[in-house]
Amino acid sequence: MTAMTTANTGVTDADLATISTYVESRSAILCPADKHYLFEARLRPVLRAYGLTDMRELAQKLRSGAHTALGEDVVDAMTTNETSWFRDIHPFDTMRQTLLPEIMANKTNRSINIWSAACSTGQELYSLAMMMDLQMPALQGWDVRLHGTDLSRDVITQAKAGRYSALEVNRGLPAQYLARYMTRDGAHYLVSEQLRRKATWERLNFIAPWPIMPRFDVVLCRNVLIYFDLDVRARIIRKIRDTLTPGGYLLLGSSETSIGDVEGFSRHVIGRTTVYRKEHR
């Protein structure tokens, strides 16, 4: 049987299936092999960096199993998603107006831990840090700790640096926050030291063993579970549940409703935001 090839590239569906299977086996993230354009767009820089001529050669290298760094970069490239500041806006309003005041009222110590579980390049967590600093004066004197994790080394490196291009700061960062919390650093913009100090960052692969983490009051895991199949989603949500304090909140993306069949959470709709509260046991 003749292998099917994509237009103009000579790359076979089998090659793309190899790459897709490779990414799924290491991250559990589903990358349908029929999305040729996605592979082309995401992996072109990787091909260039490793001096590979095409996707066929990449697939051969991955099959040989001897290229750990290349494999990591492929997973990074296929799983990194663009993000913006204050994405969707309403979850941040819900945090400010409802969740954080409730958490503060129920605390015996003055500390709050928040985890951005697929933090990408850090905009979600820094957005939260800026909002809490500027719009929640009641948090003065509180120990606010923000933790960001992601599968990708590269995004964690950028999040840790807190350094963004003009194109990136244009994406949803209100100008007053830009003026107040960022400084110019060459052609880039740097998040203030004051905010960077509140945040810690590390790599985390949802399907590998998790590092030891503190108990969180809020976990943000938005727009990432859609990339996993239902069983893996349920497993991840159970593990997230274990990291939450009783009464703590999980926020998923607007279109992610898979948590319905996981025990131990109650679902609440606050304005346009759906939140999941860990039930007390």
Partner 1 sequence: MLAMVIDDSRAMRSILRRIVTELGFECVEAADGQDAIDKLNAGPVPDLALIDWNMPVLDGLSFVTHVRDNREWKDVTLMMVTTEGEHAQIVRALAAGAHEYVIKPFTADAIQEKLQLLGLVGVEA
Residues that bind partner 1 (CB under 8 A): 84, 86, 88-90, 166-167, 169-172, 174-176, 178-179, 182-184, 254, 272
Q: How far is the CB of 183 from partner 1 (least distance, A)?
A: 6
Amino acid occupying residue 171: R
Cβ(154)–Cβ(76) below 8 Å: yes
Q: Parallel, antiparallel, or unpaired: how do β-strands 244-252 and 216-221 relate?
A: parallel
Q: How far is the CB of 173 from partner 1 (least distance, A)?
A: 9
Return the number of the residue (184 or 280) whose C-beta is nearest partner 1.
184
Return the number of the residue (160 or 188) whose C-beta is nearest partner 1.
188
Q: How far is the CB of 169 from partner 1 (least distance, A)?
A: 7
Q: How far is the CB of 143 from partner 1 (least distance, A)?
A: 29
Return the number of the residue (26 or 163) whose C-beta is nearest partner 1.
163
Q: Parallel, antiparallel, or unpaired: how do β-strands 163-165 and 199-203 relate?
A: unpaired
Q: Which of 199, 206, 214, 205 is nearest to 245 (CA)?
A: 214
Q: How far is the CB of 117 from partner 1 (least distance, A)?
A: 22
Return the number of the residue (84 or 98) whose C-beta is nearest partner 1.
84
Return the number of the residue (83 or 158) whose C-beta is nearest partner 1.
83
Return the number of the residue (88 or 154) whose C-beta is nearest partner 1.
88
Return the number of the residue (171 or 203) whose C-beta is nearest partner 1.
171
Return the number of the residue (186 or 211) whose C-beta is nearest partner 1.
186
Which three-class secondary structure string do you get for the chain? CCCCECCCCCCEHHHHHHHHHHHHHHHCCCCCCCCHHHHHHHHHHHHHHHCCCCHHHHHHHHHHCCCHHHHHHHHHHHHCCCCCCCCCCHHHHHHHHHHHHHHHHHCCCCEEEEEECCCCCCHHHHHHHHHHHHHCHHHCCCEEEEEEEECCHHHHHHHHHCEEEHHHHCCCCCHHHHHHHEEEECCEEEECHHHHCCEEEEECCCCCCCCCCCCEEEEEECCCHHHCCHHHHHHHHHHHHHHEEEEEEEEECCCCCHHHHCCCEEEEEECCEEEEEECCC
